[in-house]
Chain A
Amino acid sequence: MEFNAPADTNLFDTAKVVGKSTPRIDGPLKTTGTAPYAYERHDVVANQAYGYILGAAIAKGRITAMDVSQALAAPGVITVVTSPDTDVPGKSSMNNARLFGGSEVTHYHQAIACVVAETFEQARAAASLIRTQYDREKGRFDFPALAPDAPLARGRGDKPDQARLGDFDGAFAAAPVKLDATYTTPDESHAMMEPHATIAAWEGDRLTLWTSNQMVAWGKKSMGEALGIDPENIRLDSPYIGGGFGGKLFIRADVLVAALAARAAKRPVKIALQRPLIANNTTHRHATIQRIRIGADKEGKITAIAHENWSGNLNGEDGENGTYQTPILYAGANRLTSNYIATLDLPEGNAMRAPGEAPGHLALEVAMDELAEKLGLDPIELRIRNEPKTVPATPEKQFSDRNLVRCLREGADRFGWSQRKAEPGTVRDGQWLVGMGVAAGYRGAPTMKSGARIRLDGSGKVIVETDMTDIGTGSYTIIAQTAAETMGVPLDRVQVTLGDSRFPASSGSGGQWGAASSTAGVYAACVNLRRAIGEKLGFNGDEAVFADSQIRAGDRVIDLAEAGTMSADGEITFGKFKREYDVGTYAAHFAEVAVNAYTGEARIRRMLAVCDAGRILNPLSARSQVIGAMVMAAGAALMEELVVDKRFGLFVNHDLAGYEVPVHADITQQDVLFLDTLDSVISPMKAKGVGELGICGPGAAIANAIFNATGVRVREYPITLDKYFERLPVIA
């Protein structure tokens, strides 16, 4: 099915299942601990051995010698695979860092060996007996020092990543009200609960990988490239994923090394990356430096806006571009966005939940707050005054659907914004200074082609098969809802099987495209099946009504079970017409924060997100997505930071004791509101994702609330107390 014009009225506009709050159909498996996650799939293949990965002790240089004799002689050890002695024929085109193979070390904790043993404990104990010698080289570890000389990144079509409209410099110079501020965000870790884990088994030249991966089709392709084998000989299976947040978009060392180790051991091998390895061995969100300049007239109309962004990465590629939302959020005739990237020898930076936008909002939405303060305007009013009619940086482009002003207004009502004191530092509750903050949020709503297979089992049960993944988001349930709606059966008559590369390729989960794309793909396959049933039983499948497990075609009423066993594949693809639109999701985020006047401890009291994301397929799981993202945003605002040791080139706090993410006590009341909007440009479902929207803005709302509470602005994230407690107003 090609989606090549905005959707008309369709069955989802009168839906009975889609759009209704529905508990996860996989919930009981998860709450009883019986959902099979990769490392626990003891039953998929016999004779599994345990692999344990050893990480490099240096950040840059070469391995000159490796002595594995003691490890090989240790109890239970089957084999040891070392990087210098392993010829890995290719490299996945989707990985920046080399995952394994060769003597070169390009980042700390790069996988350099894997011990395979009968038990996990034996493998771990033996790994520490490997003696490695290195030739260390000087590395580029100091991003802030390197940033000023960093070149522009290469954007689309390899052109320098810089965009101008009008005359920014002139307009900024002439503006009566100006803001020029620089913000920094640190490296961050995905810190998902489930570590990267894989079981690999060879059968002749066919490889099966039970793993934890967001993008099954990409993983299959990447492994084909790395191993130099036909991807059709590779099967990936990833039905349950304990969080990914972008850290499992691409294969990592666990997958490749498990495959290599299984070949060497001539046995299936299972590997989970140990927690202290994850921060440096896998990917992280890159640190950014962002300079924002905004010029406005005295009424608060923006006349000039510039957002310049610096980040760094291995190989000088694929940075964290904090400017993504800036061409879209606010009006202004004269504009500049630039994206610079330094080359670093730190571990690979890569996608983490709302790459670019998440740190981008931490800068832009605080800059807007600072501008409002300069103008003496309410920050909500400032945003409303700069609401654009078409896409600001590309005025010929329309918005598919945009209701940011509604988000702001309805949120203000719900949150009690009118109670906010414009004068900072004036609300006191015992030892605590209390403030409120607001931020807008924008996150693009891309779609990707997505396929599925729908089967009827002859009893009226509908089975959905697709390689789509559920990374804790609720894909199982929204896919079941879509199939139930389209095939006219109750939800409990739908069975959903996900994550197996033998099924039709889907959009996968990433970039908040999964919900919109994969459900549209399931819809496309259901439409094909309805047509096939019509052909078999002699009616027009497009005109018949599928409801209550029956088909009503003209005056015939047929039980769905009568269609017998049938199957149809289908795929949604998206046409070029979308290019005329910016398809995005919007939110208004609010936070109330209390700051201890003595110590600067910041504690969130309330948060609210009002989201505009088209049809909400399952309000219950969508809400969970948004509140989870708000928690992550709170972490980014207040505590999360991978600390770089600039001498040795590593993230030092590489475990969950050192890398602090919010705990329950940090997050009190959270509220989420969805506007009842529909976006007919996105897909037949008229639904957009929310998983990344939820992290775009709440951190800035928290930062703005801290300012409102204290009158102190901290522009270096995370806003930890040491950065400002000495500037707090003196308590009487």
Chain B
Amino acid sequence: MKSFTYERARTPAEAAASVAKIPGAKFLAGGTNLLDLMKLEIETPTHLVDVQDIGLDTIEDTAEGGLRIGALVSNTALASDKRVRRDYGVLSRAIVAGASGQLRNKATTAGNLLQRTRCSYFYDTNMACNKRQPGSGCAAIQGFSRQLAVIGTSDSCIATYPGDMAIALRVLDATIGTVKPDGATRTIPMADFHRLPGDTPQIDNVLERGELITHVDLPRPIGGQHFYKKVRDRASYAFALVSVAAVIQPDGKMRAAFGGMAPKPWRVEAAEAGLHEDRAAAMETIFAGARPTEENAFKIPLAQRALASVVAQTRS
């Protein structure tokens, strides 16, 4: 770990200003991802701005009939909130399918969205990795890629976005609220938040320097049955090979977003209408243009089966 300086911000504006001011500064929330990466010198911030005292730790009803989740709300608090469990079951299930109880107690809503990939080569500083060290190459494309992405990838990087919560947020059409160092705020739809790698896989998302996530908004509940199916090698405490967040209405119409498949939560709204009519054809559209490796090609049929398993569980 490189040595760094540390401060505790008192307000969102102060936090954003501090990070903008100091080159190489980063926000620190629960620390469950950032500190691990710092110990391995995958992340080497010069300065940490701890945001745990800035508030933003409540879940409020919104005027539109949805919920506003503060950036610092813990994963445990979010998953166990009565309103979330009642109206946004897919979110609650996705969160508890991730990490462990201890980690979820510490992990925050914003931090969870920003967790970095779990590609093995990203984690080994002796290996080439464009995401960690731009221009060094990608050891994974010809190497161990079983966990990695099949779609949305580039010749520079095939890493997945590894998280669970974001897959549910995507299916719920959540939006992300931020404040910039100059005080300007903006709202980013989940669909636009994570980036595809292209030639710049080191940039995971559209946040600007010093831009702080303040909250995540959930629109009005959409009803239906909520599912989060996470397929993995062990029963708990493992990242998804493939996951499906699905909301299925009584008439069979559904929304579905997929995890473990791409550098971002993968959802193709245009194809969703077909999912309850000709699922195979719709899935083909959703994963059209996929470029899997030999090791991870299984993910496409697995995603199909994971969704089939979910559909089979719907109450008739």
Contacts and interface: CB of A to CB of B under 8 A. Distances in A.
Interface of A: 57-58, 75, 121, 124-125, 128, 276, 431, 596, 598-599, 601, 603, 638-639, 643, 645, 647-648, 652-655, 657-658, 660, 662-666, 718, 720-722, 725-726, 731
Nearest to A124: B1
> Most B CB atoms within 10 A — which of A654, A655, A658?
A658
Interface in B129-158: 139, 142-144, 146
A657 B301 CA distance: 25
A50 to B, nearest CB: 14
B120 A652 contact: yes
Contacts of B241: 721-722
Given A663-B237, A665-B236, A721 B231 contact: yes
A601 B231 contact: yes
Nearest to A643: B144
Given A643-B144, A654-B124, 4 more contacts: A601-B232, A648-B139, A663-B237, A721-B233
Contacts of A726: 298, 301
B143 A645 contact: yes
Interface residues of B, number: 38
Closest 10 CB pairs of A and B: A598-B309, A665-B235, A665-B236, A57-B126, A722-B298, A598-B305, A652-B120, A652-B144, A639-B233, A666-B235
B106 to A, nearest CB: 16
A121 B35 CA distance: 13
A603 B235 contact: yes
> Most B CB atoms within 10 A — which of A125, A647, A657?
A657
A721 B231 CA distance: 9
B40 interface: yes
A170 B237 CA distance: 52
22 contacts: A124-B1, A125-B2, A128-B2, A431-B309, A431-B313, A599-B302, A599-B305, A638-B234, A643-B144, A645-B143, A652-B143, A658-B118, A658-B123, A665-B235, A665-B236, A721-B231, A721-B241, A721-B302, A722-B241, A725-B298, A725-B305, A731-B312
B124 A276 contact: yes
Given A128-B41, A596-B309, A663-B235, A647 B143 contact: yes
A598 B308 contact: yes
Contacts of A276: 40, 123-124
Contacts of A653: 120, 144
Contact of B234 (A598, A639, A725): A639
> Most A CB atoms within 10 A — which of B239, B241, B298, B305?
B305
A660 B234 contact: yes
> Most A CB atoms within 10 A — which of B124, B125, B238, B309?
B124
A666 B1 contact: no
B146 A722 contact: yes
Contacts of B146: 643, 722
Contacts of B40: 276
Interface of B: 1-3, 39-41, 118, 120-121, 123-127, 139, 142-144, 146, 231-239, 241, 298, 301-302, 305-306, 308-309, 312-313
Given A276-B123, A598-B305, A599-B231, A666 B236 contact: yes
A237 to B, nearest CB: 29
A658 B120 contact: yes
Contacts of B143: 645, 647-648, 652
A725 B302 contact: yes
A645 B239 CA distance: 21
Contacts of B237: 663, 665
Nearest to B236: A665
Contact of B1 (A121, A599, A638, A652): A121
A645 B144 contact: yes
Summarize B's interface: helix, strand, loop or mixed: loop
Contacts of B238: 660
Nearest to B142: A647
B241 to A, nearest CB: 8
A536 B248 CA distance: 87
Nearest to B238: A660
A592 to B, nearest CB: 15
A727 to B, nearest CB: 11
> Most B CB atoms within 10 A — which of A599, A666, A720?
A599
A57 to B, nearest CB: 4
A25 B223 CA distance: 57
A277 B309 CA distance: 40
Contacts of B298: 722, 725-726
Contacts of B144: 643, 645, 652-653
A663 B238 CA distance: 10
B126 A431 contact: no
A128 B39 CA distance: 11
> Most A CB atoms within 10 A — which of B146, B234, B237, B239?
B234
Contacts of A654: 120, 124
A256 B298 CA distance: 45
A654 B41 CA distance: 16
A598 B1 contact: no
A722 B242 CA distance: 11
Contact of A648 (B127, B236, B305): B127
Nearest to B143: A645
Contacts of A125: 1-3
Contacts of B1: 121, 124-125
Nearest to B237: A663
A158 B237 CA distance: 46
Nearest to B301: A726
Contact of B312 (A598, A658, A720): A598
Nearest to B39: A124
Contacts of B120: 643, 652-654, 658
Contact of A663 (B118, B234, B306): B234
Given A124-B1, A653-B120, A662 B305 contact: no
Contacts of A431: 309, 312-313
A638 B238 CA distance: 14
A425 B40 CA distance: 47
A34 B212 CA distance: 43
Nearest to A635: B234
Contacts of B231: 599, 601, 721
A643 B127 CA distance: 15
Contacts of A720: 233
Contacts of B41: 128
A718 B233 CA distance: 10
B123 A638 contact: no
B261 to A, nearest CB: 14
B150 to A, nearest CB: 12
Nearest to B126: A57
A598 B306 contact: yes
B121 A652 contact: yes
A599 B233 contact: no
A599 B124 contact: no
A394 to B, nearest CB: 41
Nearest to B235: A665
B292 to A, nearest CB: 12
A662 B301 CA distance: 26
A309 B173 CA distance: 55
A664 B236 contact: yes
Contacts of B3: 75, 125
B20 to A, nearest CB: 26
Nearest to A639: B233
Nearest to B2: A125
A720 B232 CA distance: 9
A652 B128 CA distance: 13
Nearest to A599: B231
Contact of B233 (A121, A638, A647, A664): A638
A548 to B, nearest CB: 49
A657 B309 contact: no
A125 B41 CA distance: 9
A666 B305 contact: no
Contacts of A598: 305-306, 308-309, 312
B302 A657 contact: no
A638 B232 CA distance: 11
